[in-house]
Structure 1
Amino acid sequence: MTPSGFRSQLALCGQRRRSFRELKRESVFSQDVMTPALNFGVGVVSMGFVVLVFLPEVESARQPREHFIFQEKHECHYHNGTQRVRYLDRYIYGRQETFHFDSDRGQFVAVTPLGEIDAACLNKQKELLEYKRREVDTICRFSYAEVEGFLKERKVQPKVKITPTFSSPSLHNLLICNVAGFWPLAIKITWFRNGKEEDEARVFHTDLTRNGDWTFQIQVMLETQLEHGDIYTCQVEHASFPEPVTVQWEPDSSRSKMWTGVAGFVLGLVFLAPGLTLYMKTKKEALMS
């Protein structure tokens, strides 16, 4: 059984449904793509292709009236390496999954009434079922061996920065520890105040965000009341660091930078005013002469 032979069987089963009989005018196939992703300790590798199928056009129209998308998505779920691997081959029509092949069950499973005919038809094909059952090895375990080295050995150090948000000295303020551009995703971020770990009830964090370049970013926020002389520390533990990395921030240092900026602005105005006055006076004399 080859992939083309399987798709032929699928097409034959699909002919029993009116919706697929109507979709016979145009088809556009995109190339297979492989997009690895991670789901909190469980590896997931997905591969798929998309078929754009258009309804027949009205004779007087140049563009199709409406279109539907038929997608096939291959997913490999890894638990503890390749000790346990689950292979899912999902079939999606009109943005809704209709049926899928599940390696744990060894057969096709209907998800919606639309997929019941396809699943029942394909489960009668013994040669096809044997072919699909082997794909947990030919696709999943083979793909894991190809990307295992890259996933395990690649390490990117995060960039750590503390950003304060001020409201009022008498109210609670928010300190944000920005940790960006790191790989792998396992990371531990801890807030300290004067060397003592802060209460978790005052610490909040965003979800891990994928940057699209195989790195992640996250923000960990600390709600606190700023006091003179306090030293805040954001500690980051990551596989790319031989030891935990810390970044410190002091309320006084931030305020001193703010007042330095204000003083610089005032001094700039002091020197700018005489110069501007002299320039305007010289220009006026030039016009009168």
Structure 2
Amino acid sequence: MASCCLVVCCSLLVVGFYGADAFLHYNLDTCVFTSSELPDIEYIHSYYFNKIEDIRFNSTVGKWVGYTDHGIYNAELWNNDPADLADWRAQKETYCKYNIEIRYRKILDKTAEPTVRLNSVTPPSGRHPAMLMCSVYNFYPKYISVTWLRDGQPVTSDVTSTDELANGDWYYQIHSHLEYTPRSGEKITCMVEHASFPSPKKVDWNPSMSQSDRNKIAIGASGLLLGLILSLAGLIYYKRKARGRVLVPTS
């Protein structure tokens, strides 16, 4: 599963105007993490001037690194202060770990199990006569894996997938398509891996008639039956009217 990145910004803006020019300075605190354990956390503190990173402290490197002439000058100066470096190194625990644990308790440890649906759709091209769509709805967190198996073997060609699409309510959805040429007796499977599942969820394609197709046939049959009833009613009405007529011979 992909790593998480918590970014908390503490910005100081210093603006000076000289004619039409402006100077902008700000600093940014960043915590990059894959878990709430200290070895899986990286703390970064950066100073920017006019959108260019000037100097950075990285907890993995353990010291300041300059990227401009001014930043290199300050990095050499600040790295010679052991007490100041110790304070910045401690931010990984006092700043990052503290905030990350809050977010794990409130948000990141929560999961919502997705709903998986497998349907037959019309292929957009003539390369293959059939296409399946595996739709995964209402899952959280965002990171998910949707793959196809054919007789138990992974399928990588003729597969297209959307990105994880936000529903706007913390939930996500994703859709994956497989174009294929059906083979007799084969088994096609959509496999979904997500944090809410203890193990991958596998949904096998049932080549028998789908509910949608059954509905279409039922509607068509109902229309045909209604047409027959109306035709029969018209025929009966016509015969009854014909019995009451008196034929007058013409000369």
8 Å CA contact 1:161, 1:247 repeated in 2: no
Task: Quote the residue 1:109 is aligned against.
Answer: 65
User: Alignment partner for residue 28 of structure 2, among 70, 73, 84?
Assistant: 73
Q: What are the residue-to-residue correspondences of 1:1-289 with 2, within 5 Å?
A: 40-56=1-17, 58=19, 65-67=20-22, 69-78=24-33, 81-84=36-39, 85-151=41-107, 153-162=109-118, 164-167=121-124, 171-185=128-142, 187-192=144-149, 197=153, 199-208=155-164, 214-225=170-181, 233-241=189-197, 244=201, 246=203, 248=205, 250=207, 253=210, 256=213
Equivalent-residue separation in structure 2 for 1:91 and 1:215 (angstroms):
35
Residues 118 and 211 of structure 1, relative CA distance in 2, 3 Å threshold:
farther
Q: Which has the higher contact order (CA 8 A, sep 6+)?
A: 2
Unaligned stretches of 5+ residues in structure 2: 228-251
More helix by share: 1
> 1:107: Cα distance to partner?
1.8
Residues 43 and 156 of structure 1, relative CA distance in 2, 3 Å threshold:
same
Residue 201 of structure 1: SS of its match in structure 2?
coil
8 Å CA contact 2:57, 2:65 repeated in 1: yes
Matching residue's letter, 1:73:
L
8 Å CA contact 1:108, 1:122 repeated in 2: yes
Give the TM-score normalised by structure 1. Answer: 0.57
Residue 157 of structure 2: SS of its match in structure 1?
helix
Aligned length: 221
My pick for the range that moved more, 205-214 or 119-128, is: 205-214
Residue 160 of structure 1: SS of its match in structure 2?
strand
Equivalent-residue separation in structure 1 for 2:138 and 2:174 (angstroms):
9
> 1:155: Cα distance to partner?
1.0
Matching residue's letter, 1:75:
T
Residue 133 of structure 2: SS of its match in structure 1?
strand
Matching residue's letter, 2:75:
A
Matching residue's letter, 1:143:
N
> 1:110: Cα distance to partner?
0.9
Whose radius of gyration is greater, 1 or 2? Answer: 2
8 Å CA contact 1:54, 1:66 repeated in 2: no
Equivalent-residue separation in structure 2 for 1:42 and 1:68 (angstroms):
35
Residue 133 of structure 1: SS of its match in structure 2?
helix
Give the TM-score normalised by structure 2. Answer: 0.64
Q: CA RMSD in A?
A: 4.1
Identity across matched positions, percent:
25
